[in-house]
Structure 1
Amino acid sequence: MIRLHNMCSLLLIAMATMLMASVHAAEVMILPSGQTVFVTLYRDNILRLKVQPTAGDFYRVTDVVVADKEAADKLKVSCATATSCLVEAAKASMTVTGHDLDSDTAHLIVEYRTGGVVSTISKVPVAPQFKDAPELTTTFPTAKKLFGLPQHAMDLALKEDVTYQLYNLDVFHYKLDDPGGIYGSIPFLMAHSSQHTTGVLFLNSAEMNVRILKSQEEANGAPGAHWKAEVGIVDVFFLGGANPSQVHEMHAYITGKAYLPPMFSLGYHQCRWNYRSTDDCLDVDAGFDQHNIPYDVLWLDIEHTDGKKYFTWDLHNFPEPTKLINSIAAKGRKMVTIKDPHIKRENGYHVHDEATSKGFYVKTESGSDYEGHCWPGTSSWIDFHNKDARDWYATLFKHDRYGGSTPDLYTWIDMNEPSVFNSHQVTMDRNAVHRSASGKQVKHRYLHNMYGYLHTMAAFQGHLLSSAGAAAVKRPFILTRSFFSGSQRYSAMWTGDNMAKWDHLEKSLPMLLSLSLANYPFVGADCGGFFFNPEAELMVRWIQAGIFYPFFRAHAHLETKRREPWLFGEDSTSRIRAAIAIRYSMLPYLYTTFFQTHALGTTVIRPLFYEFPAEENLFSEQNTYMFGPSLLVSPIVREGEAFHMVRFPSGAFWYDWFTGKKMESGTDTNIAVTMDTIPIYTRGGSIIPTKQRLRRSSAAMVHDPLTLYVSLDERGNSYGELYTDDEDTYNFESGAFLHRALSFSAGRLTCRAAPTAYTPKDRTKTFQSDVYVERVVIFGLSKEPRRIAATSANVGGNAADGVATATELTWSKVHDAIVVRQPKTQIAADWDIVIEF
């Protein structure tokens, strides 16, 4: 009987394999429980295991999340029996074996091997009783620490014997060190050792609970995790690499690389619930100029609307919104308004009327519109699962539909977990019904964690639509609170309603690092804390930390005291100004890092083990981290510190950013600190482009000259890149950008075209830049120069076309640095600066 079953299964395999050829998947086995098992190759080291019933209605997350199509042409599947298969790719393999398939405890054992090492062993129950609650257990024989599973206000390294809930919820006054779900979820885990890194992505958008196993629970003492989703299918991606950055790039290949944000969005954002009127907004804007503090974006929360009806304005307090936006934009700044997913049920409100007539609201099981309470009162929720609804929602952003909007107005979407005040767990009923454009129904429980992601997709599409017909399509800027795998393709996110407390400041660092490891690079936390009132010391320290958040915004609750940067006393204002000035000076470096993230699938902020994967003492470090590949930062996040511990990896030289003093590598160093101290260190072997002139906004910096920070490694070498474009549109996709490589070796600093992994869609456009280098700061020279000269085909604009000229340069020693002044070498040109000793 078993022999007959095996023969039938083999026949079914052959038939199903032919049927699945068009979607590039290989069917491995059909199980007696009525489930099928698929394995797919997604690049050499990425293999996917999918287990689902042969028949049934199961929501497929991958239809809208997976960014790239699978390529199974290199996949080799050999099945010794109907219950045992070996799947081989060029650099990875997976053995899938069925056990006890005729019993109630039937399961698969999956061994994933990469780099000659079995890095992941998974047990997947496939008995009939598990088909509605998919689960698996993964163990990692080579790993020392596990990371990921955001979002939780917890430490960076995952804790043993703790169950992390992935269920997007609006949690009022969320607790620290609590593994319960909050606003967003990414079901991705990274297992790391000094020799190997493995990633597991369980792509299921239902509620999921992941218990981190005690090491002693496994026979070999390996760390592990037990995953269990409420409903759906097992759809798991295994990623293996030599280090975290390789696994990170593989993850980005699956769910998408982050979009390249416009430059203004990397500046400082000023927000509160709520700026009350046009005059209030203009006064805040003028305050930044009066106190000489740069900022880029002013935000409006829900009170700017007419009765909390989104895409409207309170015309009593904001009688001419277009004039307000244009007044702010005249200084190179932008505005943001909030647009939540709940829609007020009020006849005559155009959004509600259209959503009702088109049937675009989420439904109840009986077919009526789902209703609940949120900020406007009785509300319904747009069914963003329906592509037709997303397409319609996108039209609301068009300037002829959204009265008072302009191209300088951007979007904040909040409460999109979705938050429902009068419902269990303050969220949508799990039995609420979504409909696809074709009319197919799916219950909310299947896609709950994706709701905010789908909202973000629609808003992103809306911004593109509002920009259509312009000379160049502008890149959107959207901030979301709720998110899922793939949200990084469309928006920034922030960690929600934190508190003005020191422990919330400190915990923001591992929260953001965990998100970054899970392929969400454009992340931030509300500086100053959303709830309660920060004292001056906390506000200053939070801004000093916030300059190293990829997304940098201050925000506050309606009932808090006003806290614009100049309201904490003259000394605090000076310190806040100095910190924000550092952020703006680093925008060329930060923008270049975001471009690399977009092009390569890397990230912006990185735990130390990401850059130094072999140093086991760094695996749990979360207060000192990398800001891009070249800066080590250690924000002061504890009250009243007189001494601050900075952890310096042994794998590099480190220099104090302000003095060039060389620090001792491989040490935990206590440094004396004052309220003016911001611990920043450059990595030996790096070159960092900056702009040092203090301006009112990033737009005012476009033509400013550069200062290059050159930090030498143990061989006296260094390397860095500068990427620049128009900072605002998609013209870079048609070749309108400059990507320059800066290199120092044997006393020679050179600028050339950078080797790039980014390939434009076409090269129909070009980009011109008049930016030049006005200063070079060099850390780590073993002796003082005798002579420094610049050689270029265009030095100071004085050379004849194509004729190299040499200009002798002045320099001086400042602290432990050599500062070369006014080389005036154009960044778009090839040039050399030569140091003679």
Structure 2
Amino acid sequence: MDIEAQFFSPTIVRIIRNPEGLPLNKQSLSVIKKPEQTALSVNEENNIVYLKSAALQVALNLKTGKVSFLDLQGGPLFTEKDYGAQFTATKDAGRNTYSVRQAFMLEKDEVIYGLGQQQNGKMNQRGQRVYLSNQNTKVCIPFIQSVKGYGVFWDNYSPTTFTDNLQETSFDSEIGDCSDYYFMWGGSGDGVIAQMRDLTGQAPMMPLWVYGYNQSKERYKTQEELIDVVKKYRALKVPLDGIVQDWQYWGKDSLWNSMSFDPVTYPDPKGMIDKVHQLKAHLFIVAWPGFGPLTKQYAEFKQKNMLIDFDTWPPKSGAKPFDPYNPASHAIYWDYLNKGVFSLGTDGWWLDSTEPDHINIKDQDFDQPTYLGSFRSVINAFPLEHVGGIYDSQRKTTSQKRVTIFTRSAFAGQQRYAANTWSGDIVSTWPTLQKQIPAALNFSLSGIPYWNADIGGFFAGAFKQGGGAKNPEFQELYTRWLQFAAFTPMMRSHGTDIPREIYQFGKPGEKTFDVIAKFINLRYSLLPYIYSTAWDVTHQSGSIMRALFMDFEKDIQVYDIGNQYMFGKSFMVSPVTQAGQKEQAVYLPAGTLWYDFWTGKTEDGGKSIISTTPIDIMPLYVKAGAIMPWGPKVQFAEEKKWNNLEIRIYPGADGDFTLYEDENDNYNYEEGKYTETPFHWNDKSHILTIGKRRGDFTGSLVNRKFNIVLVTETKGIGEQVSKKTDKVIYYNGAASSIRL
């Protein structure tokens, strides 16, 4: 076979193999980086060729074809097995090709993460055999990263089996003209993710409002019902920013996804959208990849040979998916979506069924032709191509409204399309809630920072007996799930069987209502922190949900913890995932002092403690050195400017934080229209320095007040703004320092 090593940068190497003499013309769907000019030294000894960049070495064994990766001192990082590549001749829709397999060897106790979002409850993905083929609740990304500081992306879009056992670690794809993978040396979890984003694209900023609270259900059936939900939130003074219109606003299933409103149930869609905006909320609307047989889209796609001929949701409707692999299909899809929906003023997309749904499955369905080959050969990249088409099309249409998408499936690179993946139609049970945490962390560790889940789980039918939303067992599960969701990249309530609006659970003064309201309000207090963290995602390839090893790599106790995580770099979250839990063990990573968010009590790291968990408390700990901006009490994200912020300082270590602000919902930030306000805490001298404000934008604050609170057991604790302040700083953008 032919082997090629391509350095895309000093730290990213592509290894590509194909049967000798087979012409190769592969365009990656995920990788958008072009190889950099990279200085290399080359030498050969004992039948091994060494290629050395400024960051690592690649060793190719000329006898066995084995490729190994070494650090600059020759220490091993990662290696293939001898004779580890295998090509097995096969036919794909009548075409001669191969199934392709590549085997590697990991160290015995090495911990790895990734593979997208699997519902296996595992944090460490060692010892697994996972069939990687996207489906509802399961997002498959053939990517792993190791605690040793490297990542590997297997660039193949056909169904692939990942296997890790004592003999080897391997990717085995059903279809492939070549074996094609990228080795990334990052040195840390953050470093690996930065390499993956460099390779497959950076994540743009979403609008500020989308980080607030979003309400959905399966489904609002009239425009009056949808508007009424927003009105009720406003009357109750519970914050809300997004409302979601699910399926069938178009009417009959034969008109599935017609991207037009049924005149009986939605007689004035423009009026509905305007009313939502008058109430200071935003509307997400659903769109699907499949079209009913009586839609204009179906007719046009069929005439242009852009339908894939298999059955998709809904059953017995005759709906078929379009071919998103054909670039020409994107403009057609968007033309209908824009004229029928977006031009009316909608704000965000819910792209459902992006796997896509496949029903009445027949073997020949996978032989169906697409623009890029058989459906089988490209199946896992369907969400990437579909979501990308919407993103690119909206960007061409306007820069005044940021693209914001939540979607049910994903593939490597999808972060570049402003996509927030949710974990699908999961069941409302405690074990399901437990599994969402490692699923989310491994998804984030696969390079895609935006994730969410239906609060309470989608299928809640088991709780309908006993009062639905008034069923005490469901109330407990829902409340605990919502607490977790307040510390995920998107906080969105959704489900079938039982409606989830806050007023379904009771009224103000009743326990469940009050706890739900408390955590929604807490989410809004966190918006300056969350939005600044989102800027770190966009600007520095950061992550919002962070596996503990990313921040505490020296503490091997955290490597396989899948029920706690960092939210941004300051908060440690320990969701309650069992019924009737009155207390739970929380591991505090070594190397720092920890503050109980609710009490201000401090604990040294490197040990487990027991945290009490009454229904209104989820264990939250803040790292010493954290600087936390605390937002105002609001009904929606943009109601008040951040001109009077509480700044909480958690002493015990030096710390830094950068407060980010921009125009909230356009792309002017890409032209440098934003501000950064840097904060630094010197713990030894107890001096807080607020640096010179960097940047500017229309409407940026010139003068503002910072209420500085040094956190103790008597102040700066819990969700409420502090009654006591240590110092007040009137800040005009010039640097200033104060001793506390």
TM-score higher than 0.5? yes
CA-to-partner distance for each residue in 1:390-413, whole Å, 9 max, x for gaps? Answer: 233233333xx2257433432111
Aligned amino acid, residue 678 of structure 1: M
- CA drift of 1:259 comes to 1.8
CA distance in 2, matches of 1:764, 1:701: 19
CA distance in 1, matches of 2:6, 2:584: 49
Partner of 2:672: 735
- CA drift of 1:336 comes to 1.0
Q: Does 1:87 align with 2:14?
A: no
- CA drift of 1:768 comes to 1.9
Q: Which stretch of structure 1 is more off in the superposition, 205-214 or 528-537? A: 528-537
CA distance in 1, matches of 2:251, 2:530: 38
| Distance verdict in 2 for CA 1:278–1:407, change over 3 Å | closer
Q: Does 1:463 align with 2:394?
A: yes
CA-to-partner distance for each residue in 1:219-248, whole Å, 9 max, x for gaps? Answer: xxxxx5121111112111112243222122
Q: Does 1:486 align with 2:413?
A: yes
CA-to-partner distance for each residue in 1:75-118, whole Å, 9 max, x for gaps? Answer: 3444669x75322111111111244xxxxxxx521111125321
| Distance verdict in 2 for CA 1:821–1:315, change over 3 Å | farther
What does 1:123-272 align with in structure 2 at a 5 Å threshold? 123=81, 125-126=84-85, 129=88, 132-141=98-107, 144-170=110-136, 182-192=137-147, 196-214=148-166, 217=167, 224-232=168-176, 233-272=178-217
- CA drift of 1:450 comes to 0.2
CA distance in 2, matches of 1:404, 1:72: 42
Q: Does the aligned pair in 1 maintain the 2:674–2:696 contact within 8 Å?
A: no
- Secondary structure of the 1:169 match is coil
Q: Does the aligned pair in 2 maintain the 1:114–1:240 contact within 8 Å?
A: no
Number of matched pairs: 706
CA distance in 1, matches of 2:669, 2:598: 34
* TM-score under structure 1 length normalisation: 0.80
- Secondary structure of the 1:584 match is helix
| Distance verdict in 2 for CA 1:157–1:703, change over 3 Å | closer
Which of 65, 69, 72 does residue 112 from structure 1 map onto? 69
- The RMSD of aligned alpha carbons is 2.5
Q: Does the aligned pair in 2 maintain the 1:685–1:718 contact within 8 Å?
A: yes
Partner of 1:357: 303
Partner of 2:442: 514
Partner of 1:74: 39
- CA drift of 1:647 comes to 1.0
Aligned amino acid, residue 88 of structure 2: Q
Q: Does the aligned pair in 2 maintain the 1:740–1:751 contact within 8 Å?
A: yes
| Distance verdict in 2 for CA 1:563–1:51, change over 3 Å | same
Which of 326, 351, 355 does residue 417 from structure 1 map onto? 355
Which of 675, 679, 683 does residue 615 from structure 2 map onto? 675
Partner of 2:466: none
- CA drift of 1:274 comes to 0.6
- CA drift of 1:353 comes to 2.9
Q: Does the aligned pair in 1 maintain the 2:212–2:523 contact within 8 Å?
A: yes
Q: Does the aligned pair in 2 maintain the 1:707–1:776 contact within 8 Å?
A: yes
Aligned amino acid, residue 374 of structure 2: K
| Distance verdict in 2 for CA 1:404–1:632, change over 3 Å | closer
Q: Does the aligned pair in 2 maintain the 1:322–1:404 contact within 8 Å?
A: no
Q: Does 1:447 align with 2:447?
A: no
| Distance verdict in 2 for CA 1:386–1:187, change over 3 Å | same
Q: Does the aligned pair in 1 maintain the 2:663–2:698 contact within 8 Å?
A: no
Partner of 1:430: 366
Q: Does 1:279 align with 2:231?
A: no
- Secondary structure of the 1:566 match is helix
| Distance verdict in 2 for CA 1:661–1:279, change over 3 Å | same
CA-to-partner distance for each residue in 1:62-83, whole Å, 9 max, x for gaps? Answer: 2x311321114323444669x7
CA distance in 1, matches of 2:125, 2:357: 28
CA distance in 2, matches of 1:769, 1:826: 10
Partner of 2:454: 526
Q: Does the aligned pair in 1 maintain the 2:38–2:53 contact within 8 Å?
A: no
- CA drift of 1:144 comes to 2.5
CA distance in 2, matches of 1:701, 1:635: 30
Q: Does the aligned pair in 2 maintain the 1:691–1:704 contact within 8 Å?
A: no
Partner of 2:656: 719
CA-to-partner distance for each residue in 1:625-644, whole Å, 9 max, x for gaps? Answer: 10001111111111111111
- Secondary structure of the 1:542 match is helix
- Secondary structure of the 1:70 match is coil
Q: Does the aligned pair in 2 maintain the 1:212–1:226 contact within 8 Å?
A: yes
What does 1:520-599 align with in structure 2 at a 5 Å threshold? 520-532=448-460, 533=463, 535-557=474-496, 560-569=497-506, 570-599=510-539
CA distance in 1, matches of 2:726, 2:652: 22
What does 1:307-386 align with in structure 2 at a 5 Å threshold? 307=252, 308-346=256-294, 349-362=295-308, 370-375=309-314, 377-386=317-326
Give % identity: 23
- Secondary structure of the 1:562 match is coil
- CA drift of 1:442 comes to 1.0
CA distance in 1, matches of 2:274, 2:68: 60
Q: Does 1:776 align with 2:712?
A: no
| Distance verdict in 2 for CA 1:268–1:827, change over 3 Å | farther
CA-to-partner distance for each residue in 1:100-155, whole Å, 9 max, x for gaps? Answer: xxxxxxx5211111253211111354566367111111223385212111221123
Q: Does the aligned pair in 2 maintain the 1:208–1:228 contact within 8 Å?
A: yes
CA distance in 1, matches of 2:50, 2:716: 63
Q: Does 1:643 align with 2:589?
A: no
CA distance in 2, matches of 1:61, 1:309: 31
CA distance in 1, matches of 2:699, 2:51: 47
| Distance verdict in 2 for CA 1:594–1:262, change over 3 Å | same
What does 1:283-302 align with in structure 2 at a 5 Å threshold? 283-302=228-247
| Distance verdict in 2 for CA 1:682–1:705, change over 3 Å | same
CA distance in 2, matches of 1:466, 1:343: 23
Aligned amino acid, residue 265 of structure 1: V
Q: Does the aligned pair in 2 maintain the 1:501–1:529 contact within 8 Å?
A: yes
- Secondary structure of the 1:701 match is coil
- Secondary structure of the 1:591 match is helix
Partner of 1:616: 556
Q: Does the aligned pair in 2 maintain the 1:204–1:235 contact within 8 Å?
A: yes
Aligned amino acid, residue 355 of structure 2: E
CA-to-partner distance for each residue in 1:290-314, whole Å, 9 max, x for gaps? Answer: 2221111111111212322331112
- CA drift of 1:753 comes to 4.0
Q: Does 1:37 align with 2:3?
A: yes
Aligned amino acid, residue 333 of structure 1: A
Partner of 2:12: 46
Q: Does the aligned pair in 2 maintain the 1:566–1:572 contact within 8 Å?
A: no
- CA drift of 1:252 comes to 1.6
Q: Does the aligned pair in 1 maintain the 2:572–2:621 contact within 8 Å?
A: yes
Q: Does 1:752 align with 2:691?
A: yes
Q: Which runs of 5+ in 1 are unaligned?
A: 1-30, 100-106, 171-181, 218-223, 363-369, 436-440, 756-762, 782-811
- Secondary structure of the 2:184 match is strand
Q: Does 1:65 align with 2:5?
A: no
What does 1:696-707 align with in structure 2 at a 5 Å threshold? 696-703=635-642, 705-707=644-646
Aligned amino acid, residue 451 of structure 1: F
Which of 79, 98, 102 does residue 121 from structure 1 map onto? 79
- CA drift of 1:266 comes to 1.0
- Secondary structure of the 2:665 match is coil
- Secondary structure of the 1:87 match is strand
Aligned amino acid, residue 373 of structure 2: V
Q: Does the aligned pair in 1 maintain the 2:85–2:102 contact within 8 Å?
A: no
- Secondary structure of the 1:361 match is coil
Larger RCO, structures 1/2 (Cα 8 Å, 6+ apart)? 2
CA distance in 2, matches of 1:727, 1:267: 12
- Secondary structure of the 2:647 match is strand
CA distance in 1, matches of 2:641, 2:19: 56
Aligned amino acid, residue 515 of structure 1: F
